[in-house]
Structure 1
Amino acid sequence: MRKLHAKSALLPEGWAKDVLISLDADGRIASVTANQAPGADADTVAILLPALSNLHSHAFQRALAGLTEKRGAGDDDFWSWREAMYAFLPKLGPDEVEAIAAMLYAELAESGFASVAEFHYLHHQPDGTPFADLAEMAGRIVAAAQSTGLGLTLLPVAYARSGFGGAAVHDGQKRFANTPDRLLALREAARPHLTRVDDGLGLAPHSLRAVTPEDLAVLLEAATDGPIHIHIAEQIKEVDDCLAWSGQRPVEWLLENAEIDGRWCLIHATHMTSEETRRLAASGAVAGLCPTTEADLGDGIFPGSAYMSSGGVWGVGTDSHVRTDAAEELRLLEWSQRLSHRKRTVLAEAGQSNGTALLRQALAGGAQAMGRTSGRIAKGYWADLVSLDQGHTVLCGKTGDQILDSWIFSGDRTCVQHVWSAGRAIVRDGRHKDREAIANTFGRTMKKLLI
């Protein structure tokens, strides 16, 4: 049994002093006791928090960061960005994907994330031919997570069509494409790769435009365990196309045609009516918000105030990874609401610390979306923990909720000191334990990709 002592820690009931935490052999929290001396056998930190779960990642897209900023002849939008992403795909083989994912996961850990849900759809060879192991590429994602120590929920993505109504996939999508049956076989082939006790496995219909109702029914009947994630209502064009196809908006159609509950995470859900917003909140599903990616792609602003006023659950992810900073996602989520409503502290209730409210909600929603027992410093939970540097400029002299308000609204990844994932010490003094080796491999990979 290992021990960790924090001078100040955020517990479910609030801030506590001199908190002694014992971990069991699997990496779960065995006990939490406040007002305790550290003892000689405990590691000590100043500020300890539950670590966030990153609920939405396309790891390979980290390699695209900064490469899609040249404006074309017409208006740039999500759809033109998607074409640039398709053009990059043929360069990525298993080795490249593993190197990119390992670099990303180290960066995520350094910013305060202890786990990630990988929405994995780059399944096949460039011409669409499956690998001998259907789960070859999924296995490389798992290998990257295991080598970096980041917790993983793997979400093999079902992508069978290129638009509403069941149109055939085009050349740029061949690496994603599977029939529902083959995707389910791929999911089972991925299961043996997931060997850690805290690994998770779910399923992700890519979007309503990428699966037909019949495809979705087959997938949901078979997926009896793990979380279910889906992209939805990210773009106005998607909403218009769904209306033309079905007479209903995407979130409306999904709520009417699937049993949406706490297993589900609806990614983006940017464009909803007030009725859709209320119904999604009431369903118990998680809204998966990716503020930096949604800003980068010009998606729009999530109806956060109305959704949270209705009791909706949400968490954050970094999606295409133009940025990889946990605090920044929370900050931009709140700031987007301020710009939209022309008010301050929109997502906190009266008398609440904005930073604490944001962190607690993101912790709960992220853990739910991951299907992971995390997000709380409490007995039985995975020891997904982050300590902050009390000597950092923005944290000096701060106590209690001031710490979170300062980190989220004035700080960044440089405030993060140490990170543990299921008890694994993966970041020390702000750097991932294997950063140099991971960065060297990533550097060689990028030089090859950009020739």
Structure 2
Amino acid sequence: MTVFHATLAVMNGKIQRNVRIKEEAGLITEVTPDTPVEGHPLNGLVLPGFANAHSHAFHRALRGRTHGDRGTFWTWRELMYKVAGRLDPDSYFALATAVYGEMALAGITAVGEFHYLHHGPDGTPYADPNAMGNALIAAAREAGIRITLLDTVYLTSSVDGKPLEGVQRRFGDGDYDGWHRRFDQLRDDDGVRIGAALHSVRAAPVDGMSAFAQRTDGLPVHVHLSEQPAENEACQAVHGCSPTELLDGAGFWRPMTTAVHATHLSDTDITTLGGGFVCLCPTTERDLADGIGPGRALAGAGARLTLGSDSHAVIDMFEEARGTELDERLATRQRGHFSASELLTAATADGQASLGWADAGEIAVGRRADLVAVALDSVRTAGTDPGGILFAATAADVTDVIVDGRPVVTGGRHRTIDVPAALHNAITEVLS
């Protein structure tokens, strides 16, 4: 048993003072406000652990490197494919460990890794066909955070079924049955959930979608959806409908399904997505000039919003949360679309639930002991109302992180990884 004492903590959407939090075997067994100081101190404001619901770990190597020629899509894609083509299980483990370490420093206690770098660079499977996925699982363990491995179907390069070519060949399993044979060897474990994904309607043939949805029913299942207008136009030209409608016809939309991005939607699409999760990635969507998704309309239709750092232009869930509100302000020229409580729920409880961790994301008895302390005396947060912390703090203000009752970050430093050095070394190796 461990006892933590939070000077301030968010509970049931309200801030309580002097909260004693007890944990046993990684679960919270007591939460009592207005108590004397006792146990391990957590100063500042204590929040539940963040969930990064959409990650491509290898994209972290692109940060700050794709803005030549003023940062076109092609400068980004060229380097992305270069990195994707160079990784092997060992170098991916090193890179992902550093990236997940950076996530831990940002208060992220669980990550949804949208994984499609399955095979060798020429498409030849490794001796262990899940060597790359297992490297990601091992990296999350090394960094001290939970992972939901969203093992991804990626079979074609376009909506009309063009074959994979070049580095894309390492993404593919031949067909849905080939993907399932490999996928079926993956198993849940302590701190590990196995989920599934369709990369997008351009990478997943219609024939087989229904069987995929049935095979994966009940698991966390994610899909890139309507990220760019060109995807919608191609789907309309080939199938006569939107990507949302195409997937709906295959029975894809289920309670544990997450639509990622969902940027360019019709009113009918928004209604269809109202029963599940939608993951917004504001910092990536703005970095790639993809657009601003209809977050408020989706929430109004009943969708549970979650947040992801996707390409890791930054890894900062405060920025993703406030970006959800601030981007809506730019699009509508109005303020007040989301409350701070709604944004926190998206970054914590709903994000965790979308990844299969429904017992996380809240400081309450019976929940996982994920605690994130945020400084209230930095140059960004000093003088700020703690209730508005999502609109003031950054990842740099996270001082302490507890994951399943285990301290992972103390005093703003990862307890086992020199994260800046690990990032520098791993990225230098991949790009050299």
The TM-score bracket by the shorter chain reads: over 0.9
Cα distance, 1:259 vs. partner? Answer: 4.5
Q: Is the 8 A contact 2:8 2:16 kept in 1?
A: yes
Give yes or no for the alignment of 1:48 onto 2:25: no
Q: Over residues 38-78 of structure 1, what are the superposed CA-to-partner deviations in whole Å (9 max), with x where a residue is unaligned?
A: 33x44443421112100000001111212221228xx933x
Give yes or no for the alignment of 1:426 onto 2:408: yes
Cα distance, 1:20 vs. partner? Answer: 1.2
CA distance in 2, matches of 1:83, 1:390: 41
Cα distance, 1:131 vs. partner? Answer: 0.3
Give yes or no for the alignment of 1:359 onto 2:344: yes
CA distance in 1, matches of 2:399, 2:423: 23
CA distance in 2, matches of 1:334, 1:36: 35
Identify the residue that residue 326 of structure 2 maps to in structure 1: 335
Identify the residue that residue 216 of structure 2 maps to in structure 1: 223
CA distance in 1, matches of 2:254, 2:218: 13
Give yes or no for the alignment of 1:384 onto 2:370: yes
Q: Tell me the secondary structure at the aligned position of residue 214 of structure 1.
A: coil
Which has the higher mean CA deviation after the structures are superposed, 290-299 or 339-348?
A: 339-348
Cα distance, 1:444 vs. partner? Answer: 2.8
Query: What letter is aligned with 2:344?
Result: L
Which of 413, 417, 424 pairs up with 1:435? 417
Query: What letter is aligned with 1:163?
Result: S
Identify the residue that residue 416 of structure 1 maps to in structure 2: 398
Q: Is the 8 A contact 1:202 1:225 kept in 2?
A: no
Q: Say how many residue pairs are matched.
A: 430
Cα distance, 1:236 vs. partner? Answer: 0.5
Identify the residue that residue 448 of structure 1 maps to in structure 2: 429
Q: Is the 8 A contact 2:197 2:223 kept in 1?
A: yes
Cα distance, 1:94 vs. partner? Answer: 1.4
Q: Over residues 230-266 of structure 1, what are the superposed CA-to-partner deviations in whole Å (9 max), with x where a residue is unaligned?
A: 1110000000000011110111222233151220000
Query: What letter is aligned with 1:29?
Result: I
CA distance in 1, matches of 2:411, 2:118: 36
Q: Over residues 365-404 of structure 1, what are the superposed CA-to-partner deviations in whole Å (9 max), with x where a residue is unaligned?
A: 2022111021111112111210111322333354xxx214
Which of 175, 194, 200 pairs up with 1:201? 194
Which of 247, 268, 276 pairs up with 1:275? 268
Which has the higher mean CA deviation after the structures are superposed, 226-235 or 174-183?
A: 174-183
Identify the residue that residue 346 of structure 1 maps to in structure 2: 337
Which of 309, 313, 316 pairs up with 1:325? 316
CA distance in 2, matches of 1:414, 1:83: 31
Identify the residue that residue 130 of structure 1 maps to in structure 2: 125
Counterparts in 2 of 1:60-79, with a 5 A limit? 60-71=58-69, 76-77=72-73
CA distance in 2, matches of 1:87, 1:131: 20
Identify the residue that residue 352 of structure 1 maps to in structure 2: none
Which has the higher mean CA deviation after the structures are superposed, 387-396 or 311-320?
A: 387-396
Cα distance, 1:113 vs. partner? Answer: 1.2
CA distance in 1, matches of 2:82, 2:382: 47
Cα distance, 1:331 vs. partner? Answer: 1.9
Cα distance, 1:186 vs. partner? Answer: 2.3
Q: How large is the RMSD of aligned CA atoms in angstroms?
A: 1.9
Counterparts in 2 of 1:25-174, with a 5 A limit? 25=25, 27-39=26-38, 41-71=39-69, 76-77=72-73, 81-174=76-169
Q: Tell me the secondary structure at the aligned position of residue 448 of structure 1.
A: helix
Cα distance, 1:13 vs. partner? Answer: 5.2
Which has the higher mean CA deviation after the structures are superposed, 1-10 or 11-20?
A: 11-20
Give yes or no for the alignment of 1:11 onto 2:11: yes
Identify the residue that residue 190 of structure 1 maps to in structure 2: 186
Q: Is the 8 A contact 2:60 2:311 kept in 1?
A: yes
Q: Tell me the secondary structure at the aligned position of residue 183 of structure 1.
A: helix
Q: Tell me the secondary structure at the aligned position of residue 347 of structure 1.
A: coil
Q: Over residues 184-240 of structure 1, what are the superposed CA-to-partner deviations in whole Å (9 max), with x where a residue is unaligned?
A: 22223332xx542x3211101111111112222232232244200011100000000
Cα distance, 1:37 vs. partner? Answer: 2.1
Q: Tell me the secondary structure at the aligned position of residue 209 of structure 1.
A: coil
Mark the CA change 1:141 to 1:404 in structure 2 (over 3 Å): closer, same or farther: farther
Q: Is the 8 A contact 2:307 2:346 kept in 1?
A: no
Which has the higher mean CA deviation after the structures are superposed, 208-217 or 143-152?
A: 208-217
CA distance in 2, matches of 1:387, 1:107: 16
Q: Is the 8 A contact 1:389 1:395 kept in 2?
A: yes
Q: Give the TM-score normalised by the residue count of structure 2.
A: 0.94
Q: Is the 8 A contact 1:38 1:44 kept in 2?
A: no
Q: Is the 8 A contact 1:112 1:386 kept in 2?
A: yes
Query: What letter is aligned with 2:396?
Result: T
Q: Tell me the secondary structure at the aligned position of residue 208 of structure 2.
A: helix
Which has the higher mean CA deviation after the structures are superposed, 2-11 or 210-219?
A: 210-219
CA distance in 2, matches of 1:279, 1:377: 32
Task: Give the fraction of aligned pairs with identical amino acids, expressed as a percent.
Answer: 34
Gaps of at least 5 residues in structure 1 are 349-354
Cα distance, 1:80 vs. partner? Answer: 5.9
CA distance in 1, matches of 2:40, 2:64: 43
Cα distance, 1:22 vs. partner? Answer: 1.1
CA distance in 2, matches of 1:108, 1:441: 13
Q: Over residues 114-170 of structure 1, what are the superposed CA-to-partner deviations in whole Å (9 max), with x where a residue is unaligned?
A: 110000111111111000001100111011100010111111111111111322111
Cα distance, 1:11 vs. partner? Answer: 0.7
Cα distance, 1:305 vs. partner? Answer: 2.3
Q: Tell me the secondary structure at the aligned position of residue 6 of structure 1.
A: strand
Q: Tell me the secondary structure at the aligned position of residue 365 of structure 1.
A: helix
CA distance in 2, matches of 1:116, 1:176: 21
CA distance in 2, matches of 1:68, 1:7: 42
Which has the higher mean CA deviation after the structures are superposed, 48-57 or 29-38?
A: 29-38
